[in-house]
Amino acid sequence: MAGHSKWANIKRRKGAQDAKRGKIFTKLIKEIHIAVKEGGSPDPDANPRLRLAVQNAKGVNMPKDNIERAIKKAAGEDATEYTEHTYEGYAPHGIAVFVETMTDNLNRTVAAVRAAFTKYGGSLGTNGSLDFIFDRKGVFIFKKPEGMDKESLELEVIDAGAEEVEEHDEFITVYTAMEDFGSMQSKLEELEIETETSELQRIPKTTTELGDEDLQSVWKLIEALEDDDDVQKVYHNLDINESQYELI
């Protein structure tokens, strides 16, 4: 999985920027909402998806009152109905872009996603057209546990299905196959490890490097999509090197 820690660093950097704008809170509140609806319970202990959404909200320091208010609102009879949809396409220079959305108005979302691709020189494809580029993996990011060396931790998480364990700065990133996501979540709970992020992500099998100018043209599309309130996550196979971080 060469290059994945770079990708994770970019994600955390972007996450920090989003948190300042309040965008990440909005996206997580919607995830809490749909977790309550689909899981059939406002109790995180009885609803694994909600438990995960709450855990991720805590990971970005969402206030407890905000989390409880979101759960209560989602459980109400007049709660907004959201549905999940995905879109696949290409940015300029052949960069693959996968978009996950959550919306209460599908027509609005389709129009906005299509407009972003068109405005910034991209093209939408059909669902499934990027299956050969992305793998769906479980990704768990957490601070290195005190009192546990990396070798002991690796043995524990490999037993739960870890495919790779990376260490960067004070963070540990664990990757699993999609089908091992639940067992890894259970293992980390057993070890009393609180994650900063626990989610299924679309990881590119191969990545593409671009020059600074071309990278910036692609990033305009990615930012336009990320800034849309209906968009939850945007994945791509762009390889961004250390010197280009300041450009995005």
pLDDT tens, residue by residue, 6-18? 445 545 555 555 5
Dump the DSSP string for 134-175.
Answer: EEEEEEEEEEPPTT--HHHHHHHHHHTTEEEEEEETTEEEEE
Of residues 248 and 217, more confidently modeled: 217
pLDDT tens, residue by residue, 129-183? 999 999 999 999 999 888 888 889 999 999 999 999 998 888 999 999 999 999 9
Identical fold for domains 4-75 and 83-132+205-241, yes or no, is no
pLDDT tens, residue by residue, 206-247? 999 999 999 999 999 999 999 999 999 999 999 988 888 787
The pLDDT score that the predictor gives to residue 242 is: 81
Residue 20 has pLDDT above 80, yes or no: no
Q: What span, in angstroms and rounded, lies between the C-alpha atoms of 178 and 139?
A: 9
227 near 115, Cβ under 8 Å? Answer: no
Strand segments, DSSP code E, in the chain are 83-90, 96-103, 123-124, 134-143, 162-168, 171-177, 197-204, 208-209, 231-236, 238-239
Q: Burial, 80: exposed, middle or buried (Cβ in 10 Å; 0-12, 13-18, 19+)?
A: middle
Residue 22 has pLDDT above 90, yes or no: no
Domain boundary assignment for the chain: 4-75, 83-132+205-241, 134-204
The pLDDT score that the predictor gives to residue 230 is: 95
Of residues 121 and 167, more confidently modeled: 121
163 near 26, Cβ under 8 Å? Answer: no
The pLDDT score that the predictor gives to residue 61 is: 87
pLDDT tens, residue by residue, 31-49? 999 999 988 899 999 998 9
Structure tokens at 207: 């990545």
The pLDDT score that the predictor gives to residue 142 is: 93
Q: What is the pTM of this model?
A: 0.85
Q: What span, in angstroms and rounded, lies between the C-alpha atoms of 84 and 101?
A: 6
Give 3's pLDDT tier (boundaries 50, 70, 90).
very low
User: What b/e readout covers 81-103, taking b as 16+ CB neighbours within 10 angstroms?
Assistant: ebeeeebbbbbeeebbbbbbbbb
23-39 and 48-59 are packed helices; what angle lies between their axes, rounded to 10 degrees? Answer: 170
Q: What is the mean pLDDT of the chain?
A: 89
pLDDT tens, residue by residue, 81-94? 999 999 999 999 99
33 near 196, Cβ under 8 Å? Answer: no
Domain 4-75 sits in CATH at 1.10.10.200
Q: Burial, 195: exposed, middle or buried (Cβ in 10 Å; 0-12, 13-18, 19+)?
A: buried
Domain 83-132+205-241 sits in CATH at 3.30.70.980
Residue 70 has pLDDT above 90, yes or no: yes
The pLDDT score that the predictor gives to residue 8 is: 53
Structure tokens at 169: 């700065």
Domain 134-204 sits in CATH at 3.30.70.980
Q: What span, in angstroms and rounded, lies between the C-alpha atoms of 23 and 49?
A: 21
Q: Report the alpha-carbon angle 208-198-3, nearest 5.
A: 20
